[in-house]
């Protein structure tokens, strides 16, 4: 039976810090669920994982595994298995001994250990490497041994802390698929920590986004992609990231450079005096298209760079204001404050061109500048 994990108002303040590293976290991981905890470096995701593992103390709140309060239970008594970024294998032991070591310490008989190790090795394609030492393995194989060591323990919960960050790009994609498929097969409740939002989107049943110790939003990958609760989640999830910029609102329209775009009245009605007559407009690169001069509700973009990826084309540029291309007040994006549009690679404009861009009105993301929370 898979286990349920509950963080109930959990706070962790490190000694000498006045600000919590994890602040009043409420989060439930359902039995058998693969939950990915994602956020930038230093946001508190590893601290959350370590509190569940029993490696960090909890200053406030409680952690439950299957209705049992484990807040003050020692790490070794929590029945969880961890996979770290740096494999942590014993170099003098064979793969077989590395994988079975925890069971050996726990006093499990040899026949059972061998049976479990061989089953795990079969799942992970490691059977032919069982008698090798770690130094004779590649990075990806070592990471699979570390996974195998966790699997043979048959724990209540898997904890994975950035397990792919030491692998090269191609191997990461491969291992990512393997881990996700493996977790579905084993049905063990899993908390997976990463700063890589692509990993989060492709692996998780649900994603929890955390920023500066505070949980921002929890939901299925498509939910976070299509309906981000606030500006931070909007800019963090998705690659290339969402175009997010602030514009004055005049007569219910957003002034994007010299052009006006109609806003839904129910979103405009939610703006308050604190918003200073402005609105934050977000749209994904794929939710806009290049249009001709006859199309209304479009804005002008001065093209600075284009990329042809074969399957996709990307146009990068600045919105034109008062006849010149000013850097838009983009809040966050990977694209150096440039607006990004995804286009058919056979129709790429040239750098220096001025193009007109229309955003799909149904796919606009609108936020209030004062709270950075979603309006529509």
Domain range annotation of the chain: 5-235, 243-367
- Rounded to an integer, the average pLDDT of 101-120 is 91
The two tokens of residue 222 are 């498509």
Q: Which residue has the tokens 């802390």?
A: 161
pLDDT given for residue 333 in this prediction: 47
Taking alpha carbons only, the member of 334, 300, 333 closest to residue 317 is 300
Burial 159-197 (b: 16+ CB within 10 A, else e): bbbbbbebbeeebbeebbebbbebbeebebbbbbbbbbb
| CATH, domain 243-367, list 2.60.40.10, 3.20.10.10, 2.40.50.140, 3.30.70.20 | 2.40.50.140
User: What confidence tens digit (pLDDT) does each residue in 230-275 have?
Assistant: 999 999 998 888 999 999 999 999 999 889 999 999 999 999 999 9
Q: Which residue has the tokens 């007559």?
A: 277
| CATH, domain 5-235, list 3.40.640.10, 3.40.50.300, 3.30.9.10, 1.10.3720.10 | 3.40.50.300
Evaluate whether 5-235 and 243-367 have a shared fold.
no
Cβ(7)–Cβ(69) under 8 Å?
A: no
Cβ(256)–Cβ(319) under 8 Å?
A: yes
pLDDT given for residue 138 in this prediction: 86
Asked whether the predicted pLDDT for residue 152 surpasses 50, the reply is yes
Which residues are CB-contacts of 117 (< 8 A; sequence separation ≥ 6)? 96, 99, 100, 130, 148, 152
Lowest-confidence pick of 42-51, 197-206, 331-340: 331-340
Asked whether the predicted pLDDT for residue 148 surpasses 60, the reply is yes
């Amino acid at each position: 039976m898979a286990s349920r994990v509950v963080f109930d108002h959990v706070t962790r303040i490190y000694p000498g810090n006045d600000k919590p590293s994890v602040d009043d976290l409420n989060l439930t991981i359902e039995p058998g669920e693969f939950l990915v905890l994602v956020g930038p470096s230093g946001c508190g995701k590893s601290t959350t994982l370590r509190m569940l593992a029993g490696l960090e103390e909890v200053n406030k709140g409680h952690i439950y595994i299957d209705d049992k309060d484990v807040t003050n239970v020692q790490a070794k008594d929590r029945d969880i298995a961890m996979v770290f970024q740096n494999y942590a294998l014993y170099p003098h032991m064979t793969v077989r001994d590395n994988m079975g070591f925890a069971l050996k310490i726990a006093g499990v008989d040899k026949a059972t250990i061998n049976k479990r190790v061989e089953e795990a090795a079969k799942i992970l394609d490691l059977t032919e490497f069982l008698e090798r030492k770690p130094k004779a393995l590649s990075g990806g194989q070592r990471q699979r041994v570390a996974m195998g060591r966790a699997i043979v323990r048959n724990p209540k919960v898997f904890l994975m802390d950035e397990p792919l960050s030491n692998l090269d790009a191609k191997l990461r994609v491969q291992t990512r698929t393997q881990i996700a498929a493996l977790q579905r097969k084993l049905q063990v409740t899993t908390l997976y920590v990463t700063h890589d939002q692509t990993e989060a989107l492709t692996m998780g049943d649900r994603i929890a986004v955390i920023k500066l110790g505070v949980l921002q939003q929890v939901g299925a990958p498509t939910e976070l992609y299509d309906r981000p609760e606030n500006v931070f989640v909007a800019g963090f999830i998705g690659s290339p990231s969402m175009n997010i910029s602030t514009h004055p609102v005049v007569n219910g329209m957003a002034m994007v450079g010299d052009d006006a775009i109609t806003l839904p009245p129910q979103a405009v009605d939610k703006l308050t005096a604190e918003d200073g007559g402005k609105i934050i407009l977000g749209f994904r690169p794929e939710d806009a298209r290049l249009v001709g001069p006859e199309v209304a509700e479009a804005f002008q973009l001065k093209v600075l760079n284009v990329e042809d990826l074969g399957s996709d084309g990307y146009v990068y540029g600045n919105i034109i204001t008062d006849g010149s291309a000013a850097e838009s007040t983009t809040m966050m994006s990977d694209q150096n404050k440039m607006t990004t549009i995804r286009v058919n690679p056979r129709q790429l404009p040239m750098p220096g061109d001025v193009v007109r861009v229309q955003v799909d009105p149904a796919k606009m993301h609108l936020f209030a500048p004062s709270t950075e929370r979603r309006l529509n």
